[in-house]
């Protein structure tokens, strides 16, 4: 019997739903009470595991998690519900009424599509995972889960396709889309038959893999780049090859989209600017660190024009400008000092300005912040705080001392 089997029965599921909110400090006590009530050790272990996973899943699914089932891997790989809802809305906006979620896992994206009223078929080859997805979709009459190999699915059954390929080998992440399951070539073959196709890709994907006429959108959640989504056919906006979508705020409820100012070829490197004339101009009064989704999408030039900014170095994705501009697409800093990197100079600056609380940031340098912190021991210098940015400026290893804009009047 699998570890999940007890909660896939009506009795086990009811027991799970009767448990109080998960409390790590009371796990042993609650487990003992359940066993005294006559529940088997396997059932107790299963419901307690699910209770813990539900608590963890609140971060991705909110209150929906309290009625769902999970596998550890399925939860880790699942799309956050607000992002999944955005994916579903793209299909609705394109006039798509029915979608197949091929490789649906525990059904997170399937749930979001069904929640917007789409007819959804989730296909999953692992029997236990398919059972979990079926349980998670039980309240949505327009959704169903089928057990089977996605490559055998007939795309003529639906108007649109959604893929979330497996992008790991063990714990290692796979960046080559042809190593994923299914590979990008298989997805594109499906898209030839069903043009309204979208697929999650690794955010570090090389732009050279992206097909002509598609739109790829890099998505970050509160500053962390989570995925790149390839949109094909009617799901792709005309003239937009790449874009960035940011979910910001304490709960990710604020959504911001950055599109290119002009249409052009995708840059060869995700760190390249989308404007070949963007100059490197040293460091001015303000420094801007673009969100990773903006960098991955190659939209540094677009952001620079909005900030009236330039690069600090032709190979470094930091921007600098004379004026402060608040933007959801970049963290801004007020620059206090800039000097060539040396331990002696950095130590002297921290001591003279009584800086004891330091946030280290690095880009384009081999210096390791934690090793630097260990050697400097900044806490002994005083009570002031600052951000120390280790990077290159006009080709030189440099230190930028700055204050985050949120701390500047």
Give a three-class secondary structure readout of the chain. CCCCHHHHCHHHHHHHHHCCCCCHHHHHHHHHHHHHCCCCHHHHHHHHHHHHHHHHHHHHHHHHHHHCCCCHHHHHHCCCHHHHHHHHHHHHHCCCCEEEEECCCCCHHHHHHHHCCCEEEEEECCHHHHHHHHHHCCCCCCEEEEECCHHHCCHHHCCEEEECCECEECCEECCCCCCCECCHHHHHHHHHHCCCEEEEECCCCCHHHCCCCCEEEEEEECCEEEEEEEECHHHCCCCCCEEEEEEECCCCCEEEEECCCCCCCCCCCCCCCCCCCCCECCCCCEEEEECHHHHHCCCHHHHHHHHCCEEEECCEEEEEECCCCCECCEEEEEEEEEEECCHHHHHHHHHHCCEEEEEEEEECCCCCHHHHHHHHCHHHCCCEEEEEEEEEECCEEEEEEEEEHHHCC
Q: Is residue 83 part of a domain?
A: yes
* Per-residue model confidence (pLDDT) at position 169: 67
Instruction: Give me the chain's average pLDDT, please.
Output: 92
Answer with the residue of higher pLDDT: 220 or 366. 220
Out of 258, 278, 312, pick the residue that ends a domain.
258
Q: Are residues 155 and 221 in the same domain?
A: yes
pLDDT over 70 (residue 277):
no
pLDDT over 60 (residue 79):
yes
Q: Are residues 49 and 82 in the same domain?
A: no
In total, how many domains does the chain have? 3
pLDDT over 70 (residue 51):
yes
Domain of residue 357 covers 286-407
* Per-residue model confidence (pLDDT) at position 268: 38
Q: Are residues 250 and 290 in the same domain?
A: no
* Per-residue model confidence (pLDDT) at position 293: 98
Q: Mean pLDDT: which of 254-263, 266-275, 362-371 is highest? A: 362-371
* Per-residue model confidence (pLDDT) at position 262: 54
pLDDT over 70 (residue 53):
yes
Q: Is residue 178 part of a domain?
A: yes
CA distance 46 to 16: 9
Q: Residue 278: pLDDT band by 50, 70, 90 thresholds?
A: low
Q: Are residues 295 and 354 in the same domain?
A: yes
Answer with the residue of higher pLDDT: 279 or 366. 366
* Per-residue model confidence (pLDDT) at position 2: 81
Q: Are residues 238 and 337 in the same domain?
A: no
Out of 215, 238, 258, pick the residue that ends a domain.
258
CATH number for position 314: 3.30.2130
Q: Is residue 20 part of a domain?
A: yes
The per-residue pLDDT for range 357-367, each reduced to its tens digit, is: 999 999 999 88
Q: Is residue 335 part of a domain?
A: yes
Q: Are residues 240 and 201 in the same domain?
A: yes
* Per-residue model confidence (pLDDT) at position 409: 43
pLDDT over 90 (residue 242):
yes
The per-residue pLDDT for range 172-215, each reduced to its tens digit, is: 777 789 988 999 999 999 999 999 999 999 999 999 999 999 99
Q: Are residues 307 and 384 in the same domain?
A: yes
Percent of the chain having pLDDT more than 90? 85
Q: Residue 276: pLDDT band by 50, 70, 90 thresholds?
A: very low
pLDDT over 70 (residue 86):
yes
Q: Are residues 324 and 240 in the same domain?
A: no
pLDDT over 80 (residue 120):
yes
* Per-residue model confidence (pLDDT) at position 271: 41
Q: Are residues 96 and 216 in the same domain?
A: yes
Q: Are residues 208 and 321 in the same domain?
A: no
CATH number for position 235: 3.40.50.150
């Amino acid at each position: 019997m699998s570890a999940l089997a007890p909660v896939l029965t009506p009795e086990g599921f009811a027991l799970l739903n009767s448990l109080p909110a998960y409390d790590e400090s009371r796990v042993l006590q609650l487990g003992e009470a359940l066993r005294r009530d006559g529940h088997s050790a396997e059932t107790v272990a299963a419901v307690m595991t699910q209770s813990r996973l539900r608590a963890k899943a609140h971060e991705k699914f909110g209150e929906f998690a309290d009625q769902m089932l999970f596998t550890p891997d399925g939860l880790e790989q699942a799309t956050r519900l607000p992002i999944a809802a955005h994916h579903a809305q793209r299909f609705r906006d394109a006039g798509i009424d029915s979608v197949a979620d091929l490789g649906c896992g525990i059904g997170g994206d399937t749930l979001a599509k069904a929640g917007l009223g789409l007819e959804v078929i989730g296909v999953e080859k692992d029997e236990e995972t398919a059972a979990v997805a079926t349980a998670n979709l039980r309240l949505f009459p327009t959704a169903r889960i089928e057990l089977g190999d996605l490559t055998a699915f007939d795309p003529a059954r639906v108007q649109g396709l959604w893929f979330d390929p497996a992008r790991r080998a063990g714990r290692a992440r796979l960046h080559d889309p042809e190593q994923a399951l299914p590979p990008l070539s298989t997805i594109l073959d499906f898209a030839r038959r069903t043009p309204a196709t979208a697929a999650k890709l690794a955010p570090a994907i090389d732009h050279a893999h992206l097909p002509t006429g598609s739109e790829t959108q890099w998505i970050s959640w509160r500053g962390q780049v989570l995925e790149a989504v390839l949109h094909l056919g009617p799901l792709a906006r005309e003239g937009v090859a790449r874009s960035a979508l940011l979910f910001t705020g304490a709960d990710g409820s604020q959504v911001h989209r950055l599109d290119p100012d002009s249409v052009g070829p995708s840059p060869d490197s995700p760190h390249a600017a989308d404007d070949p004339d963007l100059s490197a101009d040293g460091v001015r009064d303000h420094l801007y660190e673009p969100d990773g989704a903006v960098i991955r999408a190659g939209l540094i030039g677009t952001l620079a024009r909005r900030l009236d900014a330039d690069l600090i170095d032709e190979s470094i994705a930091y921007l600098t400008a004379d004026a402060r501009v608040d933007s959801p697409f970049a963290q801004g800093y007020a620059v206090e000092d800039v000097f060539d990197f040396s331990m002696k100079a950095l130590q002297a600056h921290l001591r003279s300005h009584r800086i004891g609380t330091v946030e280290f940031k690095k880009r384009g340098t081999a210096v390791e912040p934690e090793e630097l912190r260990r050697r400097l021991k900044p806490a002994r210098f005083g009570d002031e705080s600052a951000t120390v940015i280790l990077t290159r400026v006009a080709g030189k290893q440099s230190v930028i001392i700055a204050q985050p804009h949120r701390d500047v009047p």
